[in-house]
Structure 1
């Protein structure tokens, strides 16, 4: 399977450096337009077998601008592709949180602690893992054994997918708005029927001088 995951375009809260989480913040225009047009150009000749999008409006708006949905291609609004639930941190900036002991502990844990009223990184990985398992089931019935998937999602989601497929450090997994990653994946099962996606290559979207990792 080829999985292309892209982050939504710029919002006002992105520019203000506020934790958005699962707040339904729309794109900001005209600031978002350049990135969205570059993403549209990058995906102009792509043909996807299925498209998944976070159900939050900033992702649905990004998908509409990307203009990749074609007749007969299934589109699924997928809550499991939502951003990490930042709980009490949502709507706040670093300066409002930096002196709180639980916030400092969360930063020191590289996101592994559960946010008050929100999620931990492990909980995000769990729901993404369930979604990836469903993708394995969806591709299993294809004669050619291949499927090309687009997912329009959030920065935290792509960070966790990069950690899973590229085995990079938490702080190295950031992607900018209206950008993303492309992974070539193979689903492998052991003798007990337990399966896992293995990544054979990863590259930036839009492409950066044909460099792969």
Structure 2
């Protein structure tokens, strides 16, 4: 197995926003970080990444993710940074800007909750559509990693994106994949070829970012 067939993927969620604090569906609204309230989490994330060197960085093009990347100070000279719209949060459509109490009695909202997020949101996306764009992005990243011999890549994105990536790599249920603001996951991935067909990237280990003492999964 050559080095290009192994990849360490560090994926973190943006820091706290006012809509996070108010528990509003944020989706693809371009909401900035809530400062100074977000600083504690951002500083802990910066400390967790301070000694790491990444071969490339991918970041959602929404402002809160770009701000979070700036706080991490991970975008050092010579490291390519890619703004990636496919790393945006799920499009919550008609639910964006609203809180649970405003939605709980709506039949389509109850149906969406009961479907574990699989139904398409009115005016927004379904989980399948989110997975489709994430898979397209990841396959491009994986090919680039193999071509350029990337060993470690940082991704700054959103909670729903990380849920879906955890479901892919950790094979856990959607609602179990929650990560808090300015936190994320570290995955060790290995490309496994298959006879007569395209191979796939498999996760050999997963851990929290920032690291939790004596905790891995």
| Range class of TM-score, shorter chain | over 0.9
In 2: Cα distance, 1:189 partner to 1:72 partner: 31
Give the CA deviation at 1:196. 1.8
Give the CA deviation at 1:146. 4.8
In 1: Cα distance, 2:190 partner to 2:136 partner: 16
Residue among 200, 203, 207 paired with 2:204: 200
Moved more, 86-95 or 183-192: 183-192
1:73 aligns with 2:63: no
Residue among 145, 168, 173 paired with 2:172: 168
1:104 aligns with 2:97: no
Secondary structure of the equivalent of 1:212? coil
1:114 aligned residue: 120
In 2: Cα distance, 1:124 partner to 1:188 partner: 25
1:158 aligns with 2:162: yes
Unaligned runs of 5+ in 1: none
In 1: Cα distance, 2:128 partner to 2:147 partner: 30
| Residues 173-209 of structure 1: per-residue CA shift (max 9 Å, x gap) | 0000000000000122322332321000000000001
User: TM-score w.r.t. structure 2 length?
Assistant: 0.95
Give the CA deviation at 1:141. 2.1
In 2: Cα distance, 1:136 partner to 1:188 partner: 12
User: TM-score w.r.t. structure 1 length?
Assistant: 0.97
1:52 aligned residue: 58
Unaligned runs of 5+ in 2: 1-6
- How many residue pairs are counted as aligned between the two chains? 211
